Amino acid sequence: MLGKLAFTGIKSRLRDYLVLFTGLIISSAVFYMFETLATNSSFLSSSTNGMDSASFIFQFGSVLLTIISLVYIFYANSFLLSMRQHDYGIFMMLGAKPAKIGRLILTETLVIGFLSSMVGIIFGGILTASLGNYLMEKIVQMDLPNFQALSVKAVVLTLALYLILFVVAGLINRRKLIKTPVLELLKGDSQPNRPKLKPVNQTIQIVLGLGLLAFGYYVMKHFVDFQLASIPIALVTIVFGSYFLFNAVFVWLVVLLKKTRWAQQGINNFTLSQLSFRIRNYTKILATVSILFALALGAITVGMGFGNEADLFTQGSSGYTMALKNPSQAVKKQTNDLKLARKSSYSFKATKKAVYYEKDEFDRQPLQDVSDKWMKAISKGKKPVASYDSRDGKTLQKNPGSLYYLQGDFEQEIKVVSAQKYAEIQAPQQELFVFRVKDIKQSKEKLDQIVKTIYPKTFQQQRANIPGGYSSYLSGLEAFGGFEFMGFFLGIAFLAMLASCLMFKILSGANSDKHRYEMLNKLGVRKQVLRRSISREIIILYALPGILGTIHVLFGLQLFKTLLIAPYQGIWLPFLIFVVLYLIYYWITVKLYQKIVLPAVEIDK
C-alpha cells in the first residue's frame, strides 16, 4: 500500500512530475557526458599533445555541474514536497506515524532520483555517442576512433552522486514535513501572501541589495586585486543582493502599478493581483533564477569566447601559418589554392655546426613576425588587431629569433651571413617555404590536406610539429575548443534547470488558479483577453530575472579578462542563442499554463 500511495501520487500529477523529470534527466545526462569525456582513458591517450588540459577542463566542468545540481535538486525536491503536502497532511490527519510519512517521502524521492538518473545516463550515453562525438570532432578537430560512449566509471560516478544528493534531499524533506503543523499542510496553499509595504524596511532592502550587487560587481571587475577570493565574495554578495532587490523592488513595483490608471483597464488589475497573490514565494525563485540565468548565459558566452580565442591566439603566435622545409612541387601547388596574405621562400644550408641563411634574401623579401602592438593591446585589455613587422637581413643578423621558431629546432644555431660567406659553406642547399593564410578557420581543411600530402601516414602525430600558426591553432582548438564545448553544455544544462525551476513554480500555482480563470470566463471575459493576461503575467516572471541575470553576466565577464584575450568580442551571438532558448521555455510555460487554467467552455465563438 505504501508503494501504491507513493506511485499514485506521481501518476496524479504527471504533468508536474514530467517537468521535474525533464530537468533532472537533462542535468544527469550532461553530468554523465562530462564524466565520460573526463574519465575516458582511450580518449585521453589518443590526443596529440596529451589532453591533460582538456581532461582538467571537463573535471572542472563536472564540479561546477555538481554544485548547480545540488542547488537544483534541493529546489526540485521542495517543489515536490509542496505538491505532496496536502496528501501528506491527510495521511497525518488519519493517524499515519511520522516514521511512516518519513519513509514515504524517502521512497518517493529515491524512486524519482533513481529513475531520472538512470534515464539521464541512457540519454547521456546517446548524447555522448552522437552529439558529443560530432561536436568534439567539429570543435576540437580530433578523430576519435577508439572513443566509447559507455564508460562504467562514469555510470557509477553519476549514479552515486545523484543518489547521494537525493538521499540528502529526501532526509531534508522528511525533516521539513514532520516539523510542519498538520493544519498548515492541509490549508497552506490557499492563503495569499499579502504584500505589505513597509517603507523603511523596503528602503533598507533596496539599498542593501544595490550595495551588495555593486560590491559584487566591483570585486569581479578588480579580479586581479582580490585574486581567487573574488569568486566566493562575488557569489555571496550577488546572491543576497539579487534576493533583497527582488524582495523589495518586486513587491513595491506591483503595489505601485496597481495604483496607476493602467491597472484599472480591462483585466490588468487581475493580472497584477495574480502576481501579488503569491509574491513572496516568487521573490526567492526569481533571485535563484537570475543567478542561474547568469551562470548559464555566462557559461555559453565564455565558452564561445574561448572558441573565438583560438583565432586570436593563432594570430599572436607566429608571423606565418606554416613553415615547410623543402616542400615538393605538389605541396607548393596546393598552396596556390589557398587565399594567401603572404608567401616567401628562403634558401638555407645546414651543417653539423649551424644553419646558414643568406642576408640578401631577407633584404629582398623581409621576414615577418608578430608586431609588438599585438602584445601591448592585450596587456592594456584592448582587442588586439593582427599586425606584422618586417625584419630585414640586418635585423635578423643581430637577432635571428624569428628564424629559430620557423626552423622548428632550437638546438642548432642559426646564422644569417653575407652572400659570399653563404656560397663558401659546403652543404646542400635547402628551402624554407613560408606562407600565411588570410583566414585560418576557412583554410583549415586545405591546410590539413597539405599536411596529409607531406605525411600521408603520420598525419595525426606530425601536424602539431609543423612550425607556424597552424600548430598553434590546433592546440588552441584543443584547449579552447574544450572550453567552448564545456561552456555550451554547461550553459544548456543550467538553462534547462533554471527554466524548469521557474516553470515548476508557475505551473504549480496553475491548479489553484483554475477556478479564478473559470470565474472570469463566466463573467464574460473573452478567452483572447485571458490568454493575453496569462502571457503578460508569465513574461514578467521570465523577464525580471533575465534582465538582472544579463547584468550579472556583463559584469561577470570581467572575471575572464585575465583568461581571455577579448571576453566581450562577439558577445551578441551567445546572447541571441540564449534568449531564443529562454523564449522557447517561456512559450512552453505559457502553453502549458493556458492548457491547465483556461476552461473548456468558451463563451465567445
Stretch that binds another protein, among 7-15, 248-256, 467-475, 537-545 (CB under 8 A): 7-15
CA 558 to chain centre: 16
* Binding-residue pattern over the window 473 to 512 for another protein, x denoting contact by CB under 8 A: ----------------------------------------
Place of cell 642559426: 414
Binder of another protein out of 18, 63, 67, 90 (CB under 8 A): 90
> What single DSSP character describes residue 383?
P
Give the nearest distance from C-beta 515 to another protein in angstroms.
13
Binder of another protein out of 19, 92, 154, 304 (CB under 8 A): 92
Q: Which is nearer to another protein, 15 or 446 (CB)?
A: 15
Write out the three cell numbers for 489.
Answer: 553544455
Q: What residues between 60 and 89 interact with another protein by CB under 8 A?
A: 87
**Distance (Å, rounded) from C-alpha 537 to C-alpha 322?**
58
99 binding another protein? (CB under 8 A)? yes
Q: φ, ψ for residue 436 (rounded to 5)?
A: -125, 130
Q: How many residues bind another protein (CB under 8 A)?
A: 22
How far CA 174 is from CA of 105, 106, 354, in Å, comes to 6, 7, 78
97 binding another protein? (CB under 8 A)? yes
Alpha helices by DSSP H, listed for 128-229, are 133-135, 152-179, 182-187, 199-221, 223-226
Complete DSSP assignment for 546-561: HHHHHHHHHHHGGGGG
Instruction: Please provide the size of the chain in residues.
Output: 605
164 binding another protein? (CB under 8 A)? no
Exposed (0-12), middle (13-18) or buried (19+): which is 444, by Cβ within 10 Å? middle
Q: Which is nearer to another protein, 519 or 576 (CB)?
A: 519
Give the nearest distance from C-beta 89 to another protein in angstroms.
8
Binder of another protein out of 44, 70, 71, 96 (CB under 8 A): 96
12 binding another protein? (CB under 8 A)? yes
Q: φ, ψ for residue 415 (rounded to 5)?
A: -125, 135
Stretch that binds another protein, among 21-29, 43-51, 90-98, 419-427 (CB under 8 A): 90-98
Q: Which is nearer to another protein, 5 or 122 (CB)?
A: 5
**Distance (Å, rounded) from C-alpha 218 to C-alpha 202?**
24
Exposed (0-12), middle (13-18) or buried (19+): which is 225, by Cβ within 10 Å? exposed
Q: What residues between 34 and 53 interact with another protein by CB under 8 A?
A: none
Q: Which is nearer to another protein, 5 or 64 (CB)?
A: 5
Give the nearest distance from C-beta 25 to another protein in angstroms.
24
183 binding another protein? (CB under 8 A)? yes
Q: Which is nearer to another protein, 94 or 523 (CB)?
A: 94
Q: Which is nearer to another protein, 93 or 354 (CB)?
A: 93
11 binding another protein? (CB under 8 A)? yes
Stretch that binds another protein, among 35-43, 98-106, 151-159, 303-311 (CB under 8 A): 98-106
Q: Which is nearer to another protein, 178 or 208 (CB)?
A: 178
Give the nearest distance from C-beta 181 to another protein in angstroms.
7
Bridge partners of 389, per DSSP, are 369
Complete DSSP assignment for 98-113: HHHHHHHHHHHHHHHH
Give the nearest distance from C-beta 557 to another protein in angstroms.
47
95 binding another protein? (CB under 8 A)? yes
**Distance (Å, rounded) from C-alpha 553 to C-alpha 296?**
9
Are the C-beta atoms of residues 277 and 537 closer than 8 Å to each other? no
> What single DSSP character describes residue 451?
H
> What single DSSP character describes residue 140?
I
Give the nearest distance from C-beta 516 to another protein in angstroms.
17
181 binding another protein? (CB under 8 A)? yes
Count of CA atoms in the C-beta half-sphere (13 A) of 117: 22
Complete DSSP assignment for 386-431: --EEEE-HHHHHH-THHHHHHHT-SSSEEEEE-HHHHHH--S-EEE
Q: What is the largest CA-CA distance in the chain?
A: 107
* Binding-residue pattern over the window 184 to 203 for another protein, x denoting contact by CB under 8 A: --x-----------------
Binder of another protein out of 21, 43, 72, 91 (CB under 8 A): 91
Binding site for another protein (CB under 8 A): 1, 5, 8-9, 11-12, 87, 90-100, 181-183, 186
